[in-house]
A = this chain, B = another copy of it.
């Protein structure tokens, strides 16, 4: 039995409230247990300098936490005057993950900005951000298709992420903060709807792990991302059409 009563292979409650921010082209309040992230997608009709004139588009992400998303207040990065290493690492991960399923050469010379702002944190904020950002980007692209800016949906597959880890010797799915802070091994896995890996980031800072443990963790991650993708399909409804060429 886990600290919050779940089975080792059980996700926390998942809720996705779409169209959460009225100005954005795509937006969702992504809740996984007590972790809550506002994910928005913003379409900008230009690309970064290195892509100008290439005919290609770009997808990029920014991630942040409100100061009191955490148990004790954290200082704002704007006050410190620089973005920290953890934040940079996470936003690079989100951007890279989403780009793996968006066909940039079919997007046109436009950028989709994905903003993931954690308003309440209880573990797994980066994986919740990726899962929510997929919903937002799918909505934004659906809007581009509806408006005629795009002919078809340049998304090759669904995409979701979850964390897995070894807590008290037991491989577990979807760690909450309390579990995460005790885990000896901690792994974030980003997977597609067809069960392929987009990112695997596993770290055994506290204690190295064996190939057998790796195998068990990856199985749990697969289980979790499958369920998250079912939630995505439910909330996206019409906007899910055309993803992966369907």
Q: Spell out A's residues near B (CB within 8 Å).
A: 21-24, 27, 34, 38, 40, 42, 44, 62, 64, 66-73, 76-89, 91-92, 96, 99-100, 113, 115, 117, 119-120, 157, 187, 191-192, 194, 196-211, 214, 218
Return chain B residues, CB-CB under 8 Å to A23.
68-72, 120
Q: Is the CB of A208 within 8 A of B203?
A: no
Given contact pairs A42-B68, A77-B78, A96 touches B200 in the complex (Cβ within 8 A): no
Tell me the complex Cα distance, A30–B77, Å.
24
Listed A/B pairs (15) with beta-carbon separation below 8 Å: A21-B69, A64-B78, A66-B117, A77-B78, A78-B78, A79-B83, A88-B89, A89-B92, A96-B205, A196-B208, A197-B202, A197-B209, A197-B210, A200-B202, A201-B201
Interface of A is mostly: mixed
Whose C-beta in chain B lies nearest to the C-beta of A156?
Answer: B208
Q: Is the CB of B115 within 8 A of A66?
A: yes
Return chain B residues, CB-CB under 8 Å to A196.
204, 208-210
Partner of A38 from B91, B119, B202 at Cβ < 8 Å = B119
Return chain B residues, CB-CB under 8 Å to A205.
96, 99-100, 198
Q: Which 4 A-B pairs have the closest CB atoms?
A: A196-B208, A85-B88, A77-B78, A40-B68
Return chain B residues, CB-CB under 8 Å to A27.
68
Return chain B residues, CB-CB under 8 Å to A207.
100
Given contact pairs A78-B77, A196-B210, A67 touches B115 in the complex (Cβ within 8 A): yes
Tell me the complex Cα distance, A38–B67, Å.
11
Whole-angstrom distance between the Cβ of A129 and the nearest chain B Cβ = 14
Tell me the complex Cα distance, A96–B91, Å.
19
Tell me the complex Cα distance, A108–B194, Å.
50
Tell me the complex Cα distance, A197–B200, Å.
13
Tell me the complex Cα distance, A130–B196, Å.
29
Whole-angstrom distance between the Cβ of A84 and the nearest chain B Cβ = 8
Return chain B residues, CB-CB under 8 Å to A78.
64, 76-78, 80, 82-83, 87
Partner of A67 from B84, B96, B113, B211 at Cβ < 8 Å = B113
Whose C-beta in chain B lies nearest to the C-beta of A214?
Answer: B197
